[in-house]
A and B are shown apart, each in its own frame.
Chain A
Amino acid sequence: MKYTEFTREIYWNVGQGPSTLFPMYLFAVAAIGLLIWRMLQRVRKYKLGISLQRDDQRSRRFMLMLRNVLLQQKVTKVAWPGFLHGLFFWGFGLLVIGTTLVVLQADFTDLLFDIVFLKGNFYKIFSIVLDVAGLLCICMLAGLLVRRYFFPTEGLESGTDDVVMHGLLFAILLTGFLIEGARMAVTELGTPLALWSPIGLLVAKAILPLGESGLRALHKVTWWIHLLLVMGFFVVIPITKFRHILTTSANYFFSDLGPKGKLVNLDLEDEEAESYGASTIKELTWKDIFDTDACTLCKRCQDRCPAYATGKPLSPMKIIKQLGEVAWHDPEANLIETLGKNALWSCTTCRACQEICPAAIEHVPKIVELRRSMVLMEGEFPGEEVMTAMEATEVNGNPLGFGYAERGNWVKDLGVTSLAEDSEVDLLYFVGCYGSFDKRNIAVAKSFIQLCKAAGIKVGILGKEEKCCGEPMRKMGNEYLYHSLALENVELINSHNVRTIVTTCPHCYSTLEKDYRDLGLESEVVHYTVYLEELITSGKLQLQAREFDCTYHDSCYLGRYNGVYQAPRRLIEAVGGTIQEMEKSHDQSFCCSAGGGRILAEEKLGERMNIGRVRMAEKTGTNILVSNCPFCLTMFEDGIKGAELESRIVSRDIAEILVEGL
């Protein structure tokens, strides 16, 4: 042996002469060249899309990428099979580093500068770490394989890609151990170093009967096979789901940095524009096409999609897959026809897909973009009732069809005035359409006013001048109507110099807080749950507690869109409530069915989501279902009747629960 005892001879048995190095590097250059060439072909496809800036704030983006690639943050959010993937990734990462160190030393540092670092204690650690990493990879891969082929969950699609990927990885790992075993059987058996490669040692002992010449022959052949397999791995990266190693990692970098859920504005001033929204792949952005390449069909989105769960023709995963197929095979295809109108209209924009996606794919904006094309270019809606609601909103500023002048009537007997009458107020309550006109939700609005009064807060409203915030219209694709409503609201609010706006509707909240900023809204916007919690914390609002059990529904637009999970729960607890959580809660909450403008539409396909959600609430054994959103409240009232659970459970808003503690 050339070096001190704790090391090994690199290129043992195969030799480091030109007859090894030349073909080896030729293969490597060819494989990596092929990989780059094929990836560049894919980049050409991404460029079919329109431009979108996603490379600002580079250090933030880079950190986001590191966190999700190296720490596997999003992947491991679903423990099973997330940790199998995570452990496999970390194990395989160590093997890649190890192999790189070997190449680095043998063909560069040692060859050129006589520097050898794989020796002594470092070599011992190197040896055992790689040995254990290899075993870990095999175990995790086996786990993933068993999950995929023996216990597949509903909707898991397995194709040629999966066979190639599993086969190739297993072959690489097993040949690796075989090479190690053969080398150890000849050179290391009986030395103290052997114990630092426990798995290799087992293999060595098992194949010892082959004798030295047999072992040497086995070693040489396997070495070349292993090399070719690894080169094959490089080659197939761009053409199998292996590409996610590159694309998913990059997709974290290109993530939407927010504000979360804010849609891109259409340029409605451009009089030359001939098309709005997207009906072909070329009208989507490059990022939308890139997303399709980052998808690994893990189906986490599909598993959480409330539309899919209730038998509607929508799967967020399928949408991404189909968009990818169009981009690659039929870039002229009409996307609306390919994906299907019913699928596109079924989305409630609940964001469950997007929040869970371990590849940072943005499903919802794509669906809205396609809806924009249907509405703005074709004047199409999911049903006549939706068109009626749109027209009602154009005329009266609310989708319910009430005369606009009645908007502030609900508040008359509460002594609250409009800002037009008195603008010296502590806060502007942006009531929203349901709070203003819907009988059930007027009760919520009144409760909120009572709570503010009890805390000594002077509230003003916009009254008949307030218009729908435009959120349901916007999510339905009617950007033009949204834009005109929003402009009027922003101008009006700014004219009153409002400092703080509170809403009882999370859709209004999200729209004012995020979307209206583009149109110049400057006031601070707060959802009433957060606002009331502050009043309680500061001691301004004092409530009596009485013990009761309930369950709490996280609305999509307060929860997933705005991350408010704790304030509403603390409010319920403040008046003595004990929350029995539903199976799906917090960021896994199940939509009530009314998001994405679906509040305007009848739910004609599949089972009804609200009934499903009410049943989940009933399963907790409590008899109050508390929510924080007028749409949810409306849907649950309806769902309770639909599920015939009137005697078992009631639907209430947090404000109504709190007002009982006054």
Chain B
Amino acid sequence: MKILVCIKQVPDMESKFKIDGPGQWYDTTDLAWRMNEYDEYAVEQSILIKEELGNSDITVLCIGPRRVQETMKKALAMGCDRGVHVEDDSVHQRDPLEISSIIAEFAKGEQFDLIFTGLQSQDRGSGQVGLFVAEILELPSVSTIISFTCEGKEIEVKRELEGGMKAVVRLQAPVLLTCQLGLNKPRYPTLPNIMKAKRKELSVIDVEQLRKVEPICATKSLFVPEKKNSGLILEGEVSELANELIKHLKEKTSFLA
């Protein structure tokens, strides 16, 4: 199997976030960085497949500034074979379609049997990138998978639906899958693998070589929700409460106008 895993470096969610100067993204000073949680499931799954099937090759791809290589090293230490760093200091300004097209541009000639992404990123959370990549590459895709098995090119995944329902989907590689919590438990890299990772191939490609699509949406502004007037708590007998509620709705809203 030839596998591509797409990962994103995101800030640790325990950090204190501030809006940056232009007001379009968060300020990156004093942030600690880590691998997007859902991408860890993607990395782990690709390694599990390699361990089961043998004879596989896993490429981990990440778009972002220099610092994302630290996160890529973790993926390599977990067991990915090679890294492709698409160097891009403006990654945070690109919309999901642009990001997807960059990935697709890289992947199109590579004949990957499996492409894994996380279901969404913890910082932007659009949930679109993986599925767009599949569309551009004209591959079948399944989102939010929580289990994976394969026999040759026959793949069976379970995906999560609303209301606790699950769906089983069978399909044929090549395919793109986005990973959800519950798929697996990402491993802790062993020291020999951390050492080996230092010697693994990590190629850097300038984003301009892969950027073929113009963005179709842009962030206008990013802000912390304004503090509005606090809620109103009505107390008293139920019959009176109902009347009072209607009065409030009439006076202060347009619902009963």
- Listed in ascending order, the chain A residues whose CB lies under 8 Å from chain B are 268, 271, 273-276, 375-381, 384, 387, 390-391, 395-396, 401-406, 464, 479-480
Pick out which of these stretches binds chain A: B99-107, B162-170, B185-193: B185-193
Q: A376-B190, A395-B33, A403-B12 are in contact. List 11 more A-B contacts (CB 8 A).
A: A271-B195, A276-B192, A375-B188, A377-B190, A377-B191, A381-B188, A384-B185, A396-B14, A401-B14, A403-B31, A464-B30
Complex Cα distance, B190 from A380, in Å, reads 9
Q: Is B211 an interface residue (CB 8 A)?
A: no
B118 CB to closest chain A CB (Å) equals 17
Q: Which residues of A contact B189 (CB under 8 A)?
A: 379
Q: Would you give the 0/1 interface string for B177-205, flagging 1 where the beta carbon is closer than 8 Å to chain A? A: 00000000101111110110011000000
Q: Are B34 and A395 in contact (CB under 8 A)?
A: yes
Given the contacts A395-B32, A403-B32, A464-B30, A378 and B190 also touching, CB distance less than 8 Å? yes
Given the contacts A379-B188, A464-B30, A405 and B16 also touching, CB distance less than 8 Å? yes
A271, A377, A379, A380 pick with most chain B CB within 10 angstroms: A379
Residue of A nearest to B192 (CB): A274
B187, B188, B194 pick with most chain A CB within 10 angstroms: B188
27 contacts between A and B (CB under 8 A): A273-B192, A276-B191, A276-B192, A375-B188, A376-B190, A376-B192, A377-B192, A379-B188, A384-B185, A391-B34, A391-B188, A395-B32, A395-B33, A395-B34, A396-B12, A396-B14, A401-B14, A402-B14, A403-B14, A403-B16, A403-B31, A403-B32, A404-B30, A405-B30, A405-B32, A464-B30, A479-B191
B41 CB to closest chain A CB (Å) equals 14
Residue of A nearest to B17 (CB): A403
Contact of A379 among B32, B190, B195, B198 (CB under 8 A): B190
B54 CB to closest chain A CB (Å) equals 20
Q: Is the interface of B mostly helix, strand, loop or mixed?
A: loop
A420 CB to closest chain B CB (Å) equals 13
Residue of B nearest to A274 (CB): B192
A140 CB to closest chain B CB (Å) equals 52
Q: Are A480 and B32 in contact (CB under 8 A)?
A: no
Q: Is the interface of A mostly helix, strand, loop or mixed?
A: helix
Count class of interface residues, chain B: 20 to 34
Given the contacts A271-B195, A273-B195, A403 and B190 also touching, CB distance less than 8 Å? no
Nearest first, the 5 A-B pairs at minimum CB distance are: A405-B30, A379-B188, A376-B191, A403-B15, A403-B14
Q: Which residues of A contact B185 (CB under 8 A)?
A: 384
Residue of A nearest to B29 (CB): A405
Q: Which residues of B contact A405 (CB under 8 A)?
A: 15-16, 30-32
Q: Are B12 and A395 in contact (CB under 8 A)?
A: yes
Complex Cα distance, B186 from A381, in Å, reads 13
Residue of A nearest to B13 (CB): A403
Q: Are B12 and A387 in contact (CB under 8 A)?
A: no
Q: Are B32 and A396 in contact (CB under 8 A)?
A: yes
Q: Which residues of B contact A401 (CB under 8 A)?
A: 14
Residue of A nearest to B187 (CB): A379
Q: Which residues of B contact A396 (CB under 8 A)?
A: 12, 14, 32
Q: Are A404 and B187 in contact (CB under 8 A)?
A: no
A268, A405, A479 pick with most chain B CB within 10 angstroms: A405
Q: Are B191 and A404 in contact (CB under 8 A)?
A: no
Complex Cα distance, B187 from A380, in Å, reads 9
A409 CB to closest chain B CB (Å) equals 9
B19 CB to closest chain A CB (Å) equals 16
B73 CB to closest chain A CB (Å) equals 12
A264 CB to closest chain B CB (Å) equals 16
Complex Cα distance, B190 from A464, in Å, reads 28
Complex Cα distance, B191 from A268, in Å, reads 9
Q: Which residues of B contact A276 (CB under 8 A)?
A: 191-192
Complex Cα distance, B30 from A403, in Å, reads 9
Residue of A nearest to B191 (CB): A376
Q: Which residues of A contact B12 (CB under 8 A)?
A: 395-396, 403
Q: Which residues of A contact B16 (CB under 8 A)?
A: 403, 405-406
Complex Cα distance, B248 from A612, in Å, reads 58
A274, A402, A403 pick with most chain B CB within 10 angstroms: A403
B16, B34, B187, B190 pick with most chain A CB within 10 angstroms: B190
Complex Cα distance, B192 from A130, in Å, reads 63
Q: Which residues of B contact A403 (CB under 8 A)?
A: 12, 14-16, 30-32
Q: Which residues of A contact B34 (CB under 8 A)?
A: 391, 395
Q: Which residues of A contact B191 (CB under 8 A)?
A: 268, 276, 376-377, 479-480
Interface residues of B in 131-179 (CB under 8 A from A): none
B188 CB to closest chain A CB (Å) equals 4
Q: Which residues of B contact A377 (CB under 8 A)?
A: 190-192
Q: Which residues of B contact A404 (CB under 8 A)?
A: 30, 32
A397 CB to closest chain B CB (Å) equals 8
Interface residues of B in 209-233 (CB under 8 A from A): none
Q: Which residues of B contact A395 (CB under 8 A)?
A: 12, 32-34
Residue of B nearest to A402 (CB): B14
Q: Which residues of A contact B32 (CB under 8 A)?
A: 395-396, 403-405
Complex Cα distance, B77 from A379, in Å, reads 11
Residue of A nearest to B198 (CB): A271
Complex Cα distance, B34 from A379, in Å, reads 18
Q: Which residues of A contact B190 (CB under 8 A)?
A: 376-379
Q: Are B30 and A480 in contact (CB under 8 A)?
A: no
Complex Cα distance, B32 from A406, in Å, reads 11
Complex Cα distance, B30 from A378, in Å, reads 33
Q: Which residues of A contact B31 (CB under 8 A)?
A: 403, 405
A173 CB to closest chain B CB (Å) equals 56
Complex Cα distance, B200 from A271, in Å, reads 13
Complex Cα distance, B198 from A13, in Å, reads 82
Q: Which residues of B contact A268 (CB under 8 A)?
A: 191
A106 CB to closest chain B CB (Å) equals 65
Complex Cα distance, B15 from A464, in Å, reads 12
Q: Which residues of B contact A381 (CB under 8 A)?
A: 188
Q: Would you give the 0/1 interface string for B29-65, flagging 1 where the beta carbon is closer than 8 Å to chain A? A: 0111110000000000000000000000000000000
Complex Cα distance, B33 from A531, in Å, reads 38
A553 CB to closest chain B CB (Å) equals 32
Q: Are A390 and B188 in contact (CB under 8 A)?
A: yes
